[in-house]
Amino acid sequence: MTTIERLLKIKGPLISSELAQLLAKSGDMSINTASQNISRAKEVLRIKGFFKSNQSLIYLQEHADEDLVYPILAKLMYEHGLKYWYTLNALQLHQGIISQQYLTSYTNYPVIPLKGHLPFKIVMQKFVSQNIVIFNGDDYILSPKLQAGPRNGMMNKALETVKAYVLDSFHSITKNTGLISYNSGELFAEYGKFNWCFKGLSPVIGLRNNENNFGYLLADILLGVPIYKQDVLFFIAKLEHIKSFKKAPRLLPFLIVDDMDKEALELLKQKGIIVGFIGELFGAKYAETLKELLTILNNAAASLKADPEKYLDLIKQLKVYNEGLLGNIRGTLFEYAVGHIHVIDCQNMEIGREILDESGTKHEMDVLAVYSDRIVIAECKGKKSQVEEDDVEDWLKRAIPAFRAWVEKQEIYKKKRLEFEYWSTGGFDADATDVLDDAVSTYRKNKISYFGPKEIRQKVKDMGNKKLKEALDNYFLKPAV
């Protein structure tokens, strides 16, 4: 074992300057010699290009295996590379996965070239090239090589759908109250070379530089997570960049939240930023319903286990107060319904668990139910249209092999029987049904089952759960014929 390895084993991951000091002291050499030895060391891993003075984070593979790298990386970026830290903080706030659309707003990287600043795409290329994050074309995902744990893509999409719905409501308020010009509101728009969740041209007299030179209303949104002082720094940084421009316009900045730490609130008020609490903007009932929805989405399996019918009550509330939002998250709520059917007897459950296969391709387990003797992985389609043959073929040939390989690597699951299910509220077309029937009869390794409207109704009828049956009949399933 080399001295560098020994120091890292004792101290954990280190910034290169600190490691050089320790190495110089232990080997009675100059800092410069120690730095050269570290730069030539082949027994270590490193992350570089994000820290002041061309420093690197040095670590061992065992640190990554034990999930020790990410917390130290985030701390060091905050101290030595703040402009890059915004990416890590946004990912951390959103459980390690966030769409590109939102990440452009939650960081302070320009989306249009700006002198002295690296643009968003270049910054994110650095993160991807260093294997800190993975980009799948839509979402940025914290690399499992740095931090293990499930990534829940479906829940993330549902949460982002909720945010978009709130932004639409905010658009209506600002338009109807005259805070913005009637046709000027935009979601996910650029202003001042940075992206914002909402932008509108404001005719309010106090924001005008003259009769025809209006100001702007700019807003971002953070929902469903605890928000502390450091979490609002991206918003302040974007505003300060714009204020530094010559002939900077007058702005009306909003940060829309459901809750916030006192210290963060005081900082925003000090900076002259309006904090738009959901309850104050849209009313107590709107805020209460939204809070319940966010709680359920953030704690899917735990919510089902603790109170399996709570989401059914929420469906009724959403149907009255937010039917548009209800329609947009229909697929996610159907996963809850399938989870509800399993949760009565299973020992453990996850909803929306994402895995990566050996090629780095993402696969999602809509429902993962762990029983005493078996594992059930369910595909759930909460759509009105029928599932077609191509979808079934993709599930059989791409998804199932990836799930099977993943389960085989899990020590606690190895000895359990593995089963696969396909649930569809819209049923299956004739070709898809033929393919599924063939799979049911020919698959030897694993049991395969599929459920259309008729089979789903029968399952729920056998459970004797009138509330679930009512929700399925009134919301998810086509009328029985």
Report pLDDT digits (tens) over 186-210.
Answer: 999 999 999 999 999 999 988 887 7
- Asked if residue 480 has pLDDT above 60, the reply is no
Report pLDDT digits (tens) over 318-358.
Answer: 777 677 788 888 888 899 899 999 988 899 988 888 887 87
More confident residue, 306 or 11: 11
Confidence of residue 479 (pLDDT cuts 50, 70, 90): low
Alpha helices in 12-58 (DSSP H): 16-27, 31-40
At 189 the three-state DSSP class reads: strand
- Which candidate, 308, 333, 340, places its Cα nearest to that of 474? 333
Average pLDDT across the chain, whole number: 89
Confidence of residue 137 (pLDDT cuts 50, 70, 90): confident
354 beta partners: 151, 364
Report pLDDT digits (tens) over 17-31.
Answer: 999 999 999 888 899
Confidence of residue 144 (pLDDT cuts 50, 70, 90): confident
Neighbouring CB atoms inside 10 A of 208's CB total 15
DSSP 373-438: SEEEEEEEE--SSPBPHHHHHHIIIIIHHHHHHHHHT-TTTTTSEEEEEEEETT-B-HHHHHHHHH
The residue type found at 382 is G
**Token pair listed for 9:** 């084993």
**Token pair listed for 383:** 């759509």
Confidence of residue 302 (pLDDT cuts 50, 70, 90): confident
Number of H helices, E strands in the chain: 22, 16
How far is residue 450's CA from residue 456's CA, in Å, rounded to a whole number? 9
Note the pLDDT of residue 170. Answer: 95
Note the pLDDT of residue 481. Answer: 42
Residue 399, φ and ψ in degrees, nearest 5? -75, -50
The DSSP bridge pattern shows strands 56-59 and 133-135 to be unpaired
Report pLDDT digits (tens) over 240-252.
Answer: 998 888 777 789 9
How far is residue 275's CA from residue 73's CA, in Å, rounded to a whole number? 30
Which of 72-81, 339-348, 470-479 has the lowest average pLDDT? 470-479
Burial of 295 (0-12, 13-18, 19+ CB in 10 A): middle
How far is residue 382's CA from residue 405's CA, in Å, rounded to a whole number? 26
The residue type found at 385 is S
Mean pLDDT of 95-106: 93
Q: What percent of the chain has pLDDT over 70?
A: 97
Confidence of residue 149 (pLDDT cuts 50, 70, 90): low
- Asked if residue 223 has pLDDT above 70, the reply is yes
DSSP 332-348: HHHHHHHHHHHHTT-SE
Place of tokens 């000895």: 415
Residue 444, φ and ψ in degrees, nearest 5? -100, -35
Neighbouring CB atoms inside 10 A of 187's CB total 16
421 beta partners: 378, 449
**Token pair listed for 12:** 């954990």
Tell me how far the alpha carbon of residue 55 is from its chain's centroid.
30
Confidence of residue 211 (pLDDT cuts 50, 70, 90): low
Q: What percent of the chain has pLDDT over 90?
A: 60
